[in-house]
A and B are shown apart, each in its own frame.
Chain A
Amino acid sequence: MARAATMKGASFGYKMRKFVASKHFTRGTLAVIGFFVLWQAGSMGLMPFMHAIPTPVTVAEAFWEFMGTGKYWQSWMDSTLRVTYGFVAAQILGIPLGLGMGWNRNFKDFTYPLFELMRPIPPLAWVPVSILFWPTNESSIAFITFIGAFFTIVVNVLGGVSAIPRQLVDAAVSFGASPRQVFWRIVLPATIPSIVTGMMVGIGITWNVVIAAEMIAGNTGLGRLTWEAYLAGHTPGIIVGMISIGVAGYVSSMAVKMIGDWLMPWKKVF
């Protein structure tokens, strides 16, 4: 692995410095600053419809206040746990299901119609039954997040298995691989890119879903925090909640992307 190591070898610090010096970073930074300038202008009444929005400074003050409370961090914790449970369960059940449907025609015949019937039902439509079926609020919210990620991962894995180039399987068979070896050593690795895509899309959906579910059914979490701020008429609090959700989603996408890079060293060319 000497060569692969030298290619990945550039240290994280070096890569960060290089990134910060690049024009992409400059553009991104400019866009973010521009956004805040527009926001400030809007709150000062310089743009229509936006005078009700608190200024960035007010929001920053509220942010500081929130960060001093245990409740804020508890909300982070609760939402993160729900996303993690739902997301991980969706991968554990969804990846094998997708692989099975893609690899075994009989299995697909039995499962696919039912799957396609349930897939269009939006996660939030599961809220009522979920509250009825599951013993605790926590479990029903985790279940709804699970639904959000589950169908996405299955569809991606199934698509990935179907798209495996025929000649890869043929080559393995002609080298003497048994069906079991073909599955574990060809089909599975060939599907990893689709698994990672499914995970990337899925993690975004779970955050969407968990926030909505918390607003409807939760007592805690970032979604609930935002909703409570609204009920209390605390506009800066609403914005703090929204920004927190954005940060949470961004950080978890990054984490999933890192897992993806680790799973696919061959995709990381230079």
Chain B
Amino acid sequence: MNTAEATTPPPVCRAGEGAMSIRKVGKIYDPEGVHVVALNDCSLEIAAGEFVAIVGPSGCGKSTLLNTIAGFDGLTSGEILLDGEPLATVDKDPRPGPDRVVVFQHGALFPWKTVLQNVTYGPVVQGAMSEEDANKRAQEMLSRVGLNDIETAYPGQLSSGMQRRVEIIRALINNPKVLLLDEPFRAMDTVTKSASHQYLLELYDATGKTIFFITHDLEEAIFLADKVLVMTTRPGYIKKTLQVNLPRPRQYSMLASEEFLAMKAQLVEAVHEEAVKAFEAGEREMA
């Protein structure tokens, strides 16, 4: 899949957009009752066009953070800014929008729509493009990732790797400022996963979008991202920031390099501590 070189004009990209500031964000579920603190004083900065990966133990609040950015969930303290504009604050009702689209963990292609209808859904429903223009644009984008012959197939007929590719294209056609990926490759076998990394990186290199990527696979995080953030167990905040200085485009040979292994060792240690804490907290809850 050497589509990166074949890429003629890259998708419209307003360079310099998609910088995010997450400032002292807190999220408490059911404050009157069970009072679960999912996020507490969680702060991070994401530069425009940066690829950020968040790792942490299961249930640590990674998805909660993503949901507050996406606008599916409100926050109970702090604020989130997108390009300097307040995106989410305590007083503001959460509002999802096509400027920060999500690719979901379990996939969210509409099974009753064909691949082409899925991809054009966003621009058509927003009224941003006519159906004809949207079709043309979708066809262009699909053929760029080698999916031009499956336009009329339904998602159920595609492999999981293809489904994810379609889903990422469906997100990118909206020309979002930020792409939010919630463990998109979680359920994949190793081969499909590494192919998926390859095309995601190609799309990233071609579009320069800001990417917010949740995973619990540490190698995946280092291999893809510019910056890996370790989140603590609940209440979640950013405990460690790891700058990944591997050059782009990333090569698989890097996975075995000294530098890569050293970074992985750091992350393993940081995440392991949190996993143990999470496990013990779980035991306490059970007792």
Contacts and interface: CB of A to CB of B under 8 A. Distances in A.
A176 B95 CA distance: 10
A171 B104 contact: yes
A174 B102 contact: yes
Interface string B104-125: 1111101111100000011001
Given A185-B125, A192-B112, A170 B152 contact: no
Given A1-B152, A185-B125, A266-B112, A175 B106 contact: no
Nearest to A181: B125
B174 to A, nearest CB: 7
A190 interface: yes
A185 B110 CA distance: 10
A176 B98 contact: yes
Given A3-B153, A167-B104, A269-B154, A175 B122 contact: yes
B125 A177 contact: yes
Contacts of B157: 269
B156 A172 contact: no
B148 to A, nearest CB: 12
B253 interface: no
B71 interface: yes
A215 interface: no
B98 A168 contact: no
Nearest to A264: B112
A44 interface: no
Interface in A1-47: 1-4
Contacts of A264: 112
A122 interface: no
Interface of B: 70-72, 96-98, 100-102, 104-108, 110-114, 121-122, 125-126, 150-157, 174
**Most chain A beta-carbon neighbours within 10 Å: one of B71, B150, B152:** B152
10 contacts: A170-B96, A171-B102, A172-B121, A173-B72, A174-B72, A174-B100, A175-B101, A176-B97, A186-B110, A266-B112
A189 B112 contact: yes
B154 A173 contact: no
Interface in A185-204: 185-186, 189-190, 192
B121 A175 contact: yes
Contacts of B174: 175
Given A4-B114, A165-B108, A167-B106, 11 more contacts: A2-B152, A4-B154, A170-B96, A173-B72, A174-B97, A175-B101, A177-B125, A189-B110, A190-B112, A264-B112, A266-B156
Contact of A174 (B70, B112, B153): B70
A174 B72 CA distance: 9
B124 to A, nearest CB: 9
B98 A174 contact: yes
Interface in A152-180: 165, 167-168, 170-177
Contacts of A171: 102, 104, 108, 110
A269 to B, nearest CB: 6
A1 B154 CA distance: 10
Contacts of B110: 168, 171-172, 186, 189-190
A174 B152 contact: no
A168 B121 CA distance: 12
B72 A170 contact: yes
Given A4-B114, A264-B112, A266-B112, A174 B101 contact: yes
A4 B108 contact: no
Contacts of B150: 3
Contact of A269 (B97, B102, B156): B156
Nearest to A189: B112
Nearest to A185: B125
A160 to B, nearest CB: 13
A167 B96 CA distance: 13
Contacts of B154: 4, 265-266, 269
B108 A175 contact: no
**Most chain B beta-carbon neighbours within 10 Å: one of A3, A172, A176:** A176
Contact of A176 (B70, B111, B114, B125): B125
